[in-house]
């Protein structure tokens, strides 16, 4: 039927279901019986509602990840040592804070602090080899064990270490630990 309808009031609204410019709804509704020259109101899609992504730098990664994933965002992370940002805090993000995005269609990568590059080395005296290895893994340092005979120390006890306890060292650096035979 060609009833020669007239376009009435046209309004726009955001829609995740309809692309920009598509008709979301009509008034009267589609399929209604109408007379010729009836005025039909149209609601036209403005497309999905875009919002500024936001600035998450300095915030805890796990908290932000949970919040954003609940909004449908795909979240990824890269780790980096930083001396000026707390461990597990976001140092940078792949999207500009002002980027207009549809959250449910967005992917972001955060760079997250692994903690400081430099740290104060622990005293290994009183620790056994496996405790030292565990500490080394946690702090990302390479420990080289050397052995020497000693009358003062029992087998497996720490004789000395280099650098000395409380020295400021960089992650990834080498530490020598001498154990008694």
Local structure of 135: helix, strand or coil: helix
Mean pLDDT of 88-113: 97
**Is 92 a residue whose pLDDT tops 90?**
yes
Q: Is the pLDDT of residue 91 over 70?
A: yes
Answer yes or no: do 28 and 14 share one domain. Answer: yes
- Is 141 within 8 Å of 175 (Cβ atoms)? yes
Residues 62 and 30 in one domain: no
Q: Specify if 157 maps to a domain.
A: yes
pTM tops 0.95, yes or no = no
Last residue of a domain, one of 113, 145, 162: 113
Of 113, 148, 165, the domain-final residue: 113
Tell me: do 37 and 83 sit in the same domain: no
Domain limits at 104?
A: 51-113
Q: Is residue 1 part of a domain?
A: no
What kind and span of H or E run contains 129?
helix 129-139
CATH label of the domain that carries residue 59: 3.30.10.20
Summarize the confidence of residues 90-107 as an average pLDDT: 96
Regarding whether 107 and 58 lie in a shared domain, the answer is yes
Residue 87 pLDDT > 70: yes
pLDDT in tens, 40-80: 999 999 999 999 999 999 999 999 999 999 999 999 999 99
Q: pLDDT tier at 31 (50, 70, 90 boundaries)? A: confident
Q: Which residues are registered as beta bridge partners of 112?
A: 79, 90
Length of the chain in terms of residues written: 181
Burial class (CB in 10 A: 0-12, 13-18, 19+), 136: middle
Is the model's pLDDT at 4 over the cut of 70? Answer: yes
- Total domains in the chain come to 3
**Is the pLDDT at 84 greater than 90, yes or no?**
no
Please give the span between the terminal C-alpha atoms of the chain, in angstroms, as a whole number: 100
Q: Which of 113, 128, 152 finishes a domain?
A: 113
- Is 1 a residue whose pLDDT tops 70? no
């Amino acid at each position: 039927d060609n009833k020669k309808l007239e376009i009435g009031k046209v309004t726009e609204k955001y829609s995740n279901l309809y692309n920009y410019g598509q008709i979301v709804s009509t008034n009267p509704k589609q399929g209604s019986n109408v007379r010729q020259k009836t005025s039909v109101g149209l609601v036209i899609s403005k497309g999905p509602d875009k919002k500024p992504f936001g600035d998450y730098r300095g915030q805890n990664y796990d908290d932000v990840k949970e919040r954003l994933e609940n909004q449908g965002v795909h979240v990824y992370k890269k780790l980096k040592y930083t001396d000026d940002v707390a461990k597990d805090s976001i140092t940078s993000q792949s999207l500009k804070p002002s980027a207009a995005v549809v959250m449910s269609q967005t992917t972001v990568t955060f760079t997250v602090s692994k903690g400081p590059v430099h740290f104060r080395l622990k005293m290994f005296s009183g620790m056994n080899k496996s405790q030292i290895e565990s500490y080394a893994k946690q702090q990302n340092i390479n420990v080289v064990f050397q052995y020497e005979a000693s009358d003062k120390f029992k087998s497996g006890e720490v004789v000395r270490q280099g650098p000395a306890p409380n020295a400021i060292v960089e992650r990834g650096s080498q530490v020598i630990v001498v154990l008694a035979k």
